[in-house]
Amino acid sequence: MSTFNQPAGELRLFKYHALGNSYLILDPRDWQNEPELIETRGGVPQPASRLVRTLCDECWGIGSNGLLFGPIAPTGAGHFQLRIINSDGTPAGFSGNGVRIFAEYLRDAGYARTGERFNVEIIEDAPSGNATRNFAPVHLVGGDDLRIDVTIPQAPRFGMAAIAANAQLVHANDAAASRTGISFTVAPLAAIGSRLTGRTDAWPSSTLLDIGNPHCVTFLDSKEPLPDLATLHAADDALRSIAFRPDNTRRDQAAFANGSNLQWARVRDRAHVELMIYERGEGPTMASGSSASAAASAAFARGLVDAKVDVIMPGGTLTIRIDGTSDRISAVTLSGFATRVLDGKVDRRALAVRRD
């Protein structure tokens, strides 16, 4: 049971960040008597999409890259349920930083203690209406920096089918790539790269993979500059058309039927990868645990890095450990920490304002 106490009539929330990637946390025990704000889908509660958009907006609400809703229901020892929601109100699937932040909240709130191992069950509503469930093992390692290890829910799956890529817009760069899923040209992404860099051959080689959510990792050579945050913000409309989930009327025309997180990676050496990120449902992001895991996995599958990699992002560095071989990765674990920023209350009047 949570050790935080909430006065009657007040709606409590928390804000944490992991390397500048921030999430709000709503504990269902604090919001269980709010039927206008908390919906039930598939028998599992979740915040209304408008509530998420309002709270995550820096002008209308508090501001955040996304929202965590959990622990959802009483479960057995060592098991916690969670919904991870993008700032636009869509389900995020897996988030390495989100799970790590949730783990730190569980420790802060008294649900778990340093040294414990447990599973986080991530519930995501699929376009079909069915719920998918991914399980991420977590270890509250502790130490001076209160390190948290999170293992991604599934071993990486590579290739076009893994992230529902459109064969009219995404092309294998050679026969081996078609078989292994390692190197593809994403035509609309390459076109954006050409406009931004002035080069006709920009951004030609991307690795497509799923690790519980979809990723498209574009590799740049050592002399090519990574797009900075200002550049990604300036190209937001164009990148959004690739990264964000398309509506049902556009799925056949989109590069990825369910959208995809986008990354630009530059391998510094066999132990370091530099990374820039554009998140599905969010946009340019300071850091991302799942993006770091995807980039490290893609670089490992390409034979560019060793099994322990530091991924360097604008918000900071995450260490990724990979088990297996380059042609068969069996597990990926990210290590880092999370920081509580806010323990506060939200004014109900703010939640009455609708943001579409």
**Any idea where the domains of the chain sit in the sequence?**
11-146+339-351, 157-336
- Tell me the mean pLDDT in the region 200-217: 95
Is a pLDDT exceeding 90 seen at residue 115? yes
> What digits encode the pLDDT tens for the residues 125-137?
766 667 788 899 9
Q: How confident is the model at residue 353 (pLDDT cuts 50, 70, 90)?
A: low
Question: What span, in angstroms and rounded, lies between the C-alpha atoms of 320 and 331?
Answer: 10
- Tell me the mean pLDDT in the region 73-93: 87
Q: How confident is the model at residue 44 (pLDDT cuts 50, 70, 90)?
A: confident
Question: What span, in angstroms and rounded, lies between the C-alpha atoms of 267 and 265?
Answer: 7
Distances (CA, A) of 165 to 1, 47, 173: 43, 30, 14
- Tell me the mean pLDDT in the region 74-97: 88
Is a pLDDT exceeding 50 seen at residue 8? no
Is a pLDDT exceeding 60 seen at residue 355? no
The pLDDT score that the predictor gives to residue 74 is 67
- Mean pLDDT of the chain, nearest integer: 90
- Tell me the mean pLDDT in the region 186-195: 97
- Tell me the mean pLDDT in the region 104-110: 95
> What DSSP line would sit under 221-268, residue for residue?
-TTSPPP-HHHHHHTHHHHHHHHSPPPTTTTTTSSBTT--EEEEEEEE
The pLDDT score that the predictor gives to residue 165 is 95
Tokens representing residue 218 in the block:
């574009």
Find how far residue 78's CA is from the centre of its chain.
23
Is a pLDDT exceeding 90 seen at residue 41? no
- Tell me the mean pLDDT in the region 167-188: 87
Residue 163 burial by Cβ neighbours in a 10 Å radius (0-12, 13-18, 19+)? buried
Q: How many residues does the chain have?
A: 356
**pTM for this predicted structure:** 0.88
Q: Do the two domains 11-146+339-351 and 157-336 of this chain adopt the same fold?
A: yes
- Tell me the mean pLDDT in the region 85-90: 92
Q: How confident is the model at residue 356 (pLDDT cuts 50, 70, 90)?
A: low
Q: Which CATH number fits domain 157-336: 2.30.40.10, 1.10.3430.10, 3.20.20.70, 3.10.310.10?
A: 3.10.310.10
Q: How confident is the model at residue 24 (pLDDT cuts 50, 70, 90)?
A: very high
> What digits encode the pLDDT tens for the residues 221-260?
988 999 999 999 999 999 999 999 888 768 788 999 999 9
The pLDDT score that the predictor gives to residue 252 is 81
Q: Lowest-pLDDT range, 5-14, 112-121, 234-243, 301-310?
A: 5-14
The pLDDT score that the predictor gives to residue 160 is 94
Is a pLDDT exceeding 50 seen at residue 7? no
The pLDDT score that the predictor gives to residue 125 is 78
Task: Indicate the fold that domain 11-146+339-351 takes in CATH.
Answer: Diaminopimelate Epimerase; Chain A, domain 1 (3.10.310)
The pLDDT score that the predictor gives to residue 2 is 52
Question: What span, in angstroms and rounded, lies between the C-alpha atoms of 245 and 260?
Answer: 8
Is a pLDDT exceeding 60 seen at residue 151? yes
Note whether 184 and 177 are within 8 A (CB).
yes
The pLDDT score that the predictor gives to residue 43 is 79
The pLDDT score that the predictor gives to residue 249 is 66
